[in-house]
Amino acid sequence: MGKRQREVDAVAYEYRRYPFVPPPGLFASEERHPVIVVGAGPVGLAAALDLAGHGIPSVVLDDNDLVSVGSRAICWSKRTLEILDRLGVGTACVEKGVTWKIGRTYHRDTEVFSFDLLPEEGHKMPAFVNLQQYYVEEYLIAAAEASDLVDLRFKNRVTAAEPGNEHVRVSVETPDGSYWLDASFLVACDGARSPIRAMLGLEFEGLLFEERFLIADIEMAGDFPPERRFWFEPTFHFGQSALLHKQPDNIYRIDLQLGWDADPETENHLDRIRPRIEKVVGHGEFNIDWHSVYTFQCRRLERFVHGRVIFAGDSAHLVSPFGARGGNGGIQDVNALGWRLAAVVRGNAPLALLGHYDAERTYGADENILSSTRSTRFMSPTNGAERWFRDAVLALAERTEFARPMINSGRLSVPCVYPLEAPDAEILPTVSRPGAVAPDAPQGTGWLVDSLGGEVRLLALGEAGEGVGVPVLRPKFNDAIRSRYLGEAGEAWYLIRPDQVVAARWTAYDAAAIAHETARLWEG
């Protein structure tokens, strides 16, 4: 962060500084590392842990020695929780976080639309958990420090990057001096203002929205339900929009639209913020824990892979916060990258394999940007036809059913379905088609998701399966397995990638085809 501390009433989270340990590079030059990760936010830490899960060591460099100042990313999706669970912190996040799945949308003071993000049973992870980013980072740091394969270095700031054909060299500044570090790959997870992106002189293309929003965390004793609540033109905040989320420790997140002409300097002071929030919650019994006035951008790098420098998370793409697609998109980047980068580092796959990471995650970023742009425009329509239609939807929603789901206060993060060209059988359920994340299902006292991930699996729902050289997983049959993996079919075989994405599926066992599709996973 590195910014001046803003005035607040109190901070609920007890920050502690992580120790700076003088790195070996200050005393003697270090051997070339397989991977340097720049940035110890949720994305960088997850990247290092995912690589560690694949047996690849990495050095994580961070310019700071604190977890996130302010709650920042708070809504963690089911998919993210599944990935974090594989990295060892899923349970901690769910236990500490506020689980929710219902979103309610109001126009003025009337509820006009509600949605349930996980209407069916039979999943280990809930639809969403609200948890302050500093907790997620704290848990990830603990997991990283417990891993022999993650070398986490606080107060190590990258000041220069020299990308080469075979390696990347970076200059690192520490409180005890500077040193050079050399690695086969650099994963840049250094955030929205990515210094690495700037050092490489890369364009960051897209839209800047002029609408200004106030974001604040308040601490108060209250009994608001664990639901997402969004208001268009509420009486407590005339003509604008408002969003309320519950977090643990009696913290509530409030987003208030301020209009394009609001002055950020004037608005970002407690004496301006406090009365606005009093109107939202109806009283003044709260502490302001964190606040910021922001505009947002929807933009991305044209490519996420630049030779041996790979971008993931906010350094690669930015979206508006409505839809929870920033942090969740970043964790999904990591998930698409780790297994591939590990194979390339080991020499088991060509460098070109990383091209699939680029293709899949630029596709995912585009979907997130499109969704987030549409939500933003619905919230702050331009004058003329855009506003007429927006207002027409809100007016009609109060008296007719069809207009309600047209109300767009954010379409919440779901994993995209990658456009794979792969063997498929149309009789099988759509939910588990190639490119989709293999859906979870109960397995006795455990879960299918726990036995997937990390390496390639053949999920066999039929007699045959062994002999292809792919570990076979035979799930226990139950209603969830039948409805999510068989549908009308009698038997099926699913090839599932290390990132739990369905690679291909068949209704008739074909060892040669399975072997062929497995080999294709490692091709450039």
Partner 1 sequence: MTLTTMPNLNDRDEIYARIIETHQGLTDAESQALNARLVLILVNHIGDEAVVAEALALARGDSG
Q: Which residues bind partner 1 (CB under 8 A)?
A: 371, 374, 377, 384-386, 388-389, 393, 395-396, 399-402, 404-406, 408, 411
Tokens of 90: 């899923």
Q: C-beta of 22: minimal distance to partner 1 in Å? A: 53
Tokens of 354: 């990383």
* DSSP calls for 120-157: SS--SS-SEEE--HHHHHHHHHHHHHH-TTEEEETT-E
The nearer residue to partner 1, 133 or 376, going by C-beta atoms, is: 376
Maximal C-alpha separation, the chain: 73
The nearer residue to partner 1, 6 or 374, going by C-beta atoms, is: 374
Separation of alpha carbons 501 and 418, rounded Å: 9
The nearer residue to partner 1, 167 or 377, going by C-beta atoms, is: 377
The nearer residue to partner 1, 5 or 400, going by C-beta atoms, is: 400
CB atoms within 10 A of CB 78: 24
Separation of alpha carbons 12 and 250, rounded Å: 9
Q: C-beta of 34: minimal distance to partner 1 in Å? A: 42
The nearer residue to partner 1, 119 or 384, going by C-beta atoms, is: 384
Question: DSSP H helical segments within 223-294, as ranges?
Answer: 264-267, 270-281
Q: Which helix (H) or strand (E) holds 252?
A: strand 251-259
Q: C-beta of 374: minimal distance to partner 1 in Å? A: 6
Separation of alpha carbons 34 and 30, rounded Å: 12
Separation of alpha carbons 434 and 96, rounded Å: 34
Torsion angle (degrees, nearest 10) of CA 201, 204, 208, 213: -90
**CA atoms 140, 145, 150, 153: torsion sign:** positive
Of 273, 239, 233, 271, give the one whose Cα is nearest residue 254. 273
Q: C-beta of 386: minimal distance to partner 1 in Å? A: 5
Q: C-beta of 505: minimal distance to partner 1 in Å? A: 24
Q: C-beta of 131: minimal distance to partner 1 in Å? A: 28
The nearer residue to partner 1, 371 or 443, going by C-beta atoms, is: 371
Separation of alpha carbons 484 and 428, rounded Å: 8
The nearer residue to partner 1, 153 or 390, going by C-beta atoms, is: 390
Q: C-beta of 370: minimal distance to partner 1 in Å? A: 8
Separation of alpha carbons 329 and 41, rounded Å: 14
For residue 178, the Cα-to-chain-centroid distance in whole angstroms is: 33
The nearer residue to partner 1, 417 or 468, going by C-beta atoms, is: 417
Q: C-beta of 436: minimal distance to partner 1 in Å? A: 17
